[in-house]
Amino acid sequence: MNNSHSFTISNAAVVTLDSVIEHGIVRVEDGNIVFVGTEDELPADKRSLWLDGVIDAGGGWLLPGFIDVHVHGGYGEDFMNANRQAFDTITKFHRDHGTTAMLATTMTQSRDALDRAIRAVYVYRHERMPYAQLEGVHLEGPFVNPKYKGAQNDAYMIDPQIDWLEDWNSRYPGLIKQVSLAPERHGALEAIRWLRAHHINAAAAHTDATYERIEAAVEAGLNQAVHTFNAMSPLHHRNPGTAGAVLSDDRIVAEVIADGIHVHPAVIRILAKTKRDHNLILITDAMSAAGLGDGQYELGGLPVTVTNGVAKLTQGDSLAGSTLTMIDAVKFVVHNLGVTIPEASVLASYNAARQLGIADRTGSIAAGKQADLVWTNSDLDIKEVWVKGISNRKGHS
């Protein structure tokens, strides 16, 4: 293994933000991309060195690594377990399915449980992260509405507590990247203003908010919607609800779970037609069962049964996260929505990087950015993944 993380990938359909470079070449040095182009464009003084021992992509796709802003776990572990073994297991599993960066997403739980999870992510980020990189924390709850609790535990649902947010932000500066809440709860607008003043994305989640309340929240700074159409007041032609506000307001970036279970393909197609200009993000909302098949699991302290890949609370009929991976989300929108592979790449990578403020270093393939890359065959089956130039296959880093 080359410890410098320097290599060349050739003969790839390289997906950049602007185009697809057929028979493209990407050169990586010390974990960063230094060249993207064709063989004819190679610097003359580098040609022989860069073309020595290349990785031949065989005409397959080379995509930017996927970024998942909403993921709870995978392969038997949950971020609420709050330990290195859990984090390694989750980040390795999702890395192998194309995710190179993610937000550790919490559940509606006690203050102590949230404290433990947040601190564990802080510690993990200050050590070596060998797999997909944790960019920070996404707090999903506890400031949500029991009416649309979904698989969240309503015993811990409360009004937004700005003092909690201030405490976490002072102890772990910049760690919390997204807080998902119900804008109709008492104190929510003030909390949204606080979040945006501290450069934290504020997302509508598990909410019964009216259209008017969402618009007021947007004026306060609300800029995102969690798993659009799920656990929110629905669209009606005389009462647009949260869903109508998300569809109609370009200031709201919409997450969507593209698995054909949470949202009908036709509805995702409508969403994609309304959310332009980088306002749509693919997420997994994956829970611990992802990668393990059917059986009995737990999410946020609540028992979950997975049958035919569909996760639901054992008591009741609420969907409980998903068993989705990002590569399967990409495949779903390509095969069921008529989205092109370059368009799907933007939904899975760049848009999330842009929303997180990290597009200057990841989320697309360009010189100067991290070598966060996914190589697939023509059918989008993953061949290899690199995170900062480090491969998930021995010998290719």
Which tokens belong to 357?
């403020």
Of residues 78, 208, 259, 285, which has the active-site annotation?
285
- Cβ pair 227, 255 in contact under 8 A: yes
Rounded-to-10 torsion of CA 31, 331, 321, 204: 80
Decide if 285 is catalytic.
yes
Phi, psi of 129 (to 5 degrees): -105, 105
- Cβ pair 180, 194 in contact under 8 A: no
Which tokens belong to 9?
């990938």
> Considering just the CA atoms, what is the radius of gyration of the chain in Å?
21
Cα–Cα distance, 66 to 346 (Å, whole number) = 9
Alpha carbons within 13 angstroms on the beta-carbon side of residue 202 total: 27
Cα–Cα distance, 75 to 59 (Å, whole number) = 31
Question: Among the residues of the chain, which ranges form H helices?
Answer: 47-50, 84-95, 111-125, 162-171, 188-197, 211-220, 241-248, 265-274, 326-337, 341-345, 351-356
Active site residues: 285
